[in-house]
Amino acid sequence: MGGKAGQGINKISEIVSETLVRHGYYVFVYRDYQSLIRGGHNFNIVSISDKKIGSFESQLDGIIALDEKTLELHKDELKKEAFIITSEKYADLGINLNIALAGALIKTLGMDKEIFLDIIGKEFEEESIKIANQGYDEKENLFNLIKLNNKISLMSGNQGFALGALNSKLDLYFSYPITPATGLMNELSSKQIEKNLVVFQLENEIAAVNAALGASFTGAKTMVGTSGAGFDLMSESLSLQGQVEVPLVIYLASRPGPGTGVPTYTSQADLNMALMSGHGEFPRIVVAPGDPLEAAEKTNEAFYIAEKFKTLAIIYSDKDLAEGIFSIDKNPKSPLNIETRRDVPPKKIVKVSSYECDEEGNTTESVSKIISNAKKRLEKIEQIKREINEFEMIKIHGKKDSKNLVIGWGSTKSVIWDAINDLDVKFLQVLYLEPFPEQVKEEILKASKTILIECNSTGQLGRLIREKTGIEIKERILKYDGRPFTSNLLKQDIERSIK
């Protein structure tokens, strides 16, 4: 579904996706847009299945074109028997053009008109309902998507992260707008009154992270949202957290760099930064969920660890996961109860400083105290490892007895899952990057063939595996053009690697 920015492409895919899930179909929506407010070329790809799906393919069954450029750019991606719906006969409808095209697509797919009109009626005026009818009535059925019994809802990655934060009783969310983290800020903003929290937009990223540390010092549960360029600016304050030991949760939604790069596209190239940012040595966790349900669960775990161990917790996401829309057919696990177990003002006088301190919070340069404080930080790392062993640090998908092992993390989870559906492959999904799971080495040693899959150009997870296990994975499938993998082409790459 393509057109210019501002023509309502997201609204078409939203309406169609909601109609599909109410018919019992699974969908996945990929959003592709340029860094423009108006004009240019934006498009969404909606994938439809009677089974769970979390990716899209490289070829299209149909195009809904709100402008001529969409057809020009995507016609070579069409399958032989594909359909095309253009805007020519609806050109005089103005802002309702997308509603008419949504109706035309619903009829083409052969779905229930009343369900479609019910969705339209809950959001639009009578005139839009007439236009939706017009678009529907002027087309013929090419498919017959009968109703199924699946009970499905829709959730984006950012909605999953928001759910995890709300389940953790978030008090304050601090951020400076930056794609693709802004969606989480918008989602939490809409819940401020209902959930009794505050979303605070600061003047820059340095202010945001320092405000979060200040609020956390008082006992509030806080979270900071940013992307790579903003995360860079927060580096000094991450180190400050390591010294003052005030809980801090950061949502890092990655996009391609270096510099501004291509800011509205996707990348997994900031893992090294998540693992290493901040000077000195201090504990942290880095967790990378792969879908909205995991986003909710792992965000809750991040808050739990940050609060219990007064540490830094980084939740790694990217544009593909954050803005992708997934079908959900179950609820996340019951959230962990998160208690504030530390002294906070005004109940007691609490002193913290960026300097090395003694037990009373006084600055010290004592050799023995420097050493003992460093040892406490190292011991905290071991305590966190023991605690996280109770959580899912990895997941195994596919054929669990296969000798062919694929390793991936974060947003590649869903596309790998789709690509290996009928292959002789075991898929190891790494959820926790720090502390690093010992099971990774065990799984690699069991395999005859190991393939690394990442959306970056240097294989950053592969580098981490080599550091932690001494094993170098030479077979790698890497993508670094700002776009996610497509399931059919990834399947071909995996098949070639196995052979």
> How is the chain split into domains, by residue range?
2-137, 155-388, 394-498
- Report the pLDDT value the prediction gives residue 340, as an integer from 0 to 100: 85
Mean pLDDT of 16-27: 97
- Report the pLDDT value the prediction gives residue 454, as an integer from 0 to 100: 98
Same fold, 155-388 and 394-498: yes
Q: Percent of the chain, pLDDT > 90?
A: 93
State the Cα–Cα distance between residues 417 and 111, nearest whole angstrom. Answer: 28
Place domain 2-137 in its CATH homologous superfamily.
Pyruvate-ferredoxin oxidoreductase, PFOR, domain III (3.40.920.10)
Tokens for 180, please give them.
């693709």
| Residue 98 near residue 7 (C-beta atoms within 8 A) | yes
User: If phi over 0 gives left and psi between -120 and 50 gives alpha, with beta otherwise, what is residue 261?
Assistant: left
pLDDT at 89 over 90: no
* Domain 155-388: top CATH class: alpha beta
In sequence order, the 6+-apart residues with CB closer than 8 A to the CB of 442 are none
| Residue 271 near residue 464 (C-beta atoms within 8 A) | yes
Q: How many helices (H) and strands (E) does the chain have?
A: 19, 19
Give rounded-to-5 percent helix, strand, coil for the chain.
40, 20, 35
- Report the pLDDT value the prediction gives residue 345, as an integer from 0 to 100: 85
- Report the pLDDT value the prediction gives residue 105, as an integer from 0 to 100: 97
Kindly indicate the confidence band of residue 341, based on its pLDDT and cuts at 50, 70 and 90.
confident
Mean per-residue pLDDT over the chain, rounded:
96
Mean pLDDT of 145-160: 96
Burial-class residue 439 by CB neighbours within 10 Å (0-12, 13-18, 19+). middle
Kindly indicate the confidence band of residue 191, based on its pLDDT and cuts at 50, 70 and 90.
very high
Candidates 54, 408, 455; CA nearest to 254 is: 455
- 3-class DSSP assignment, residue 220: coil
- Report the pLDDT value the prediction gives residue 95, as an integer from 0 to 100: 86
Give me the count of residues in the chain. Answer: 499
Mean pLDDT of 115-135: 93
- 3-class DSSP assignment, residue 41: strand
Q: What is the pLDDT of residues 270-284, one digit of tens each?
A: 999 999 999 999 999
State the Cα–Cα distance between residues 54 and 484, nearest whole angstrom. Answer: 12
Q: Does the N-terminal peptide bond of residue 345 adopt cis geometry, omega within 30 degrees of 0?
A: no
Q: What is the pLDDT of residues 213-270, one digit of tens each?
A: 999 999 999 999 999 999 999 999 999 999 999 999 999 999 999 999 999 999 999 9
Q: Does the N-terminal peptide bond of residue 258 adopt cis geometry, omega within 30 degrees of 0?
A: yes
Q: Percent of the chain, pLDDT > 70?
A: 100
Claim: this prediction has a pTM higher than 0.85: yes
Fold observed for domain 394-498: Rossmann fold (3.40.50)
In sequence order, the 6+-apart residues with CB closer than 8 A to the CB of 283 are 242, 309, 311, 312, 377, 380, 381, 384
- Report the pLDDT value the prediction gives residue 444, as an integer from 0 to 100: 98
